[in-house]
Structure 1
């Protein structure tokens, strides 16, 4: 009996090891799935409908809505596999089906691993139950089974998290470089906003250095008392847009000013500034008719009497049909400033075009600038209480001076906001997906 059970355990372990290796081309475990049209997946636990939480991604697996959404996608995957078996498909139809099949394949592979692991866990539980009535001879085998049960259970939890991640909609622009702008708010006591805008500029410059990204200043318009009216920079590197896309919006500061007119009143002041994030895809082409442009030249508004300010080297380019403009005053060369301004203009026009294609009511720039009012804030920097609070995810961090250096504390907050946004995107996809069609019974 002992030999027989050991053999069964070894067989099970071999199958578990195989399932851990994944199922790629040839897809051993997927022949069964593709032959079961409209099946209900019995291994999924029955869960009472509850409000979806925004905690760990794995928690979303417990939601009945998420499970129903997965079943709909797996039914769609099954249908795609069946349709692709038919030889009588037009070339365009086949390409469309292959594209959708490729999109669903990662989810299908993880789902198959979950299903197989659940079967393995059930078999281990059965072996444990059958050995519970015996004594010394099976004590070692029972221990092995319990260890295997624990390992499979841990694997299932990890696979469920992978399953949820596979459901999260992807953003094709995540790998893009960005045009980042910082703009001082229009709040009374503008020196507060201008000083804060300069600190935010320094923070993102520090973050680019921390992430080993390139940081190219395209425009920098300083203000009094060491503040900043506006700046535009190009940040290039690995997955820049993915990390910075949620930084766009109104940022609020609360502090007792150290310099400037507002410092004469020793009380807490509130100001705002705006961050604008526009993606710069690796390949994009925006045709601009020279007849649609108005090019203005002027002297740089920089402080002092440096030579950069003694000639009309600064350039502003306006796209007349849309009213979108860009300017640059970074160098003494009018030609270089014009080239830089045209790069910025192309990026803004591209974002405007993308906004129309996705039926957005405004362009990303207008959405992020808003009215610059405090009610639209995405984050508050409270220097008096040494606290930074993100109002979307509820993330709170201390040591604000260290945070403003743009290193690990900012990276931690950005990752938390990114996870929050991914959960929101998944919940929206689940809601819209479940609303389109209901799962078939069979």
Structure 2
């Protein structure tokens, strides 16, 4: 009876939150009694093990440097609480201290919730120890206690993950729209690069549709055999830059080409293409003196409508002091192409104006383009092995044709890379913070 009353008292104190955030990255789960063959088991084992390595930010809670950083923040919070209790503070100091205290309050609340949950867990474990070896009539109580223990453990993991997410440094450019460019590589046998560039363009267009973003084509320069030399698009939507900022870099493909000169050799070829991501901040002002611009018009080179290839509607704008260029040949209207090219030029100039600090945090256009060599690749697409591998995290996924549609598969890989980047950013911030205290 004492154990029953103890459990009732315990349950009245614990409020369980929804576990909808738990395992947010685990979109696919196996239910029922589906039978998998050995190949499927090996495949899913590989995918799940790769994903587990980087998707659980909550693991950082046990990191020694993170623990020191949390202690530092909690000491600051308690010190602020003491100072705010003094009546002699002037209005300016009180306002400043209150602002800092408010910023740390959510963190302190989560830490207190974790501490209380740990106490509750210890109490349940103590009740379980006391019920060991009891009579058959207590088996139901033991089962309830085990379920209680599992629920509290899951809650603690969820709280720890929420805590770590709250510590991750925010990027002020995350809400921005982006200018995305795809550029064919310079590898020998360029037709495979151009073919792959077309597929990558289609993949990002599919991803924009999947995320309900607007996809505005600004420039599209076709190549032979249905390939693509270069394309530039503007993508507008919610947190576009946050999701796409890590896509910039060299992407490698290995396959037997379906079209072009390389397809006649019937062997696996390797090619590359480059993705360039430029943020388009919501509020930015780039003052450009018209005297610093050279505006050229020319006849569009790519496939288009009746007037696109027969009139000088394409526009190229060069910013003479920096040599920055932007061009658009997408519409029949020279005026529209000029406006689009100016928007691209301003975004590129803004990128170069962000300074050394931002250049260290975000890969610049020049760094993203690099030499387009295979050694700089961030991701490989192995069509013959039906596999896509991200080299920054080791994340592996299958069903490459479905992946290239730009739907859930790409979304999961992008989320994994994003969490890995956030993890690294947090560790760097924590280490730098701890070092400054020494």
TM-score interval w.r.t. the shorter chain? Answer: 0.7 to 0.9
Task: State TM-score, norm by structure 1.
Answer: 0.82
Measured in 2, the distance between the counterparts of 1:166 and 1:272 equals 37
- The gaps in structure 1 that reach 5 residues or longer are 22-52
| Contact 1:356–1:363 (Cα < 8 Å) also in 2 | no
Q: How do residues 285-304 of structure 1 correspond to structure 2 at under 5 angstroms?
A: 285-303=285-303
| Alignment-derived partner of residue 81 in structure 1 | 81
Distance in 1, matches of 2:95 and 2:323, equals 40
1:355, 1:364 within 8 Å by CA — same for their partners in 2? no
Report the CA distance shift for 1:222/1:83 in structure 2 as closer, same or farther (over 3 A): farther
- Give the alignment of 1:104-253 within 5 angstroms: 104-128=104-128, 144-253=144-253
CA contact (8 A) 1:351 1:363 kept: no
Shift of residue 376 of structure 1? Answer: 0.5
Aligned ranges 1:347-358 → 2 under 5 Å = 347-358=347-358
In structure 2, relative to structure 1, the CA distance for the partners of 1:153 and 1:264 (3 Å cut) is closer
Q: How many residues align?
A: 404
Between the aligned partners of 1:399 and 1:84, the Cα distance in structure 2 is 58
Deviations 1:55-101 (A, max 9, x none): 63232223223222221222233233344445666777666655544
Structure-1 separation of matches of 2:272 and 2:90: 56
Distance 1:85 1:350 in 2: 46
The answer for the alignment partner of 1:42 in structure 2 is none
Q: 2:11 aligns with which of 13, 16, 36?
A: 13
Give the match for residue 69 of structure 2. 69
- 1:355, 1:361 within 8 Å by CA — same for their partners in 2? no
User: Secondary structure, in 3 states, of the residue corresponding to 1:308?
Assistant: coil
SS state at 2:308 partner: helix
- Is 1:407 aligned to residue 426 of structure 2? no
In structure 2, the CA distance between the partners of 1:246 and 1:95, relative to structure 1 (3 Å rule), is farther
Give the superposition deviation at 1:367. Answer: 1.7
Contact 2:194 2:223 in 1 (8 A): yes
C-alpha RMSD over aligned residues: 2.9
- How many angstroms apart in 2 are the aligned matches of 1:350 and 1:89? 43
Contact 2:315 2:328 in 1 (8 A): yes
Q: Is the 8 A contact 1:355 1:362 kept in 2?
A: no
What residue number does 2:40 align with?
none
Q: Shift of the alpha carbon at 1:295? A: 1.2
Q: CA deviation at 1:381?
A: 1.1
Label 1:299 to 1:156 Cα distance change in 2 as closer, same or farther (>3 A): same
Structure 2 unaligned spans of 5+: 19-52
Other structure's SS at 1:191 match: helix
Distance 1:402 1:20 in 2: 36
Q: State the SS of the aligned residue for 1:287.
A: coil
Instruction: Note the alpha carbon deviations across 1:29-52, whole angstroms, 9 max, x for none.
Output: xxxxxxxxxxxxxxxxxxxxxxxx
> For 1:68, what is the secondary structure of its paired residue?
helix
CA contact (8 A) 2:55 2:416 kept: no
Secondary structure of 2:195's aligned partner: helix
Report the Cα offset of residue 219 of structure 1: 0.7
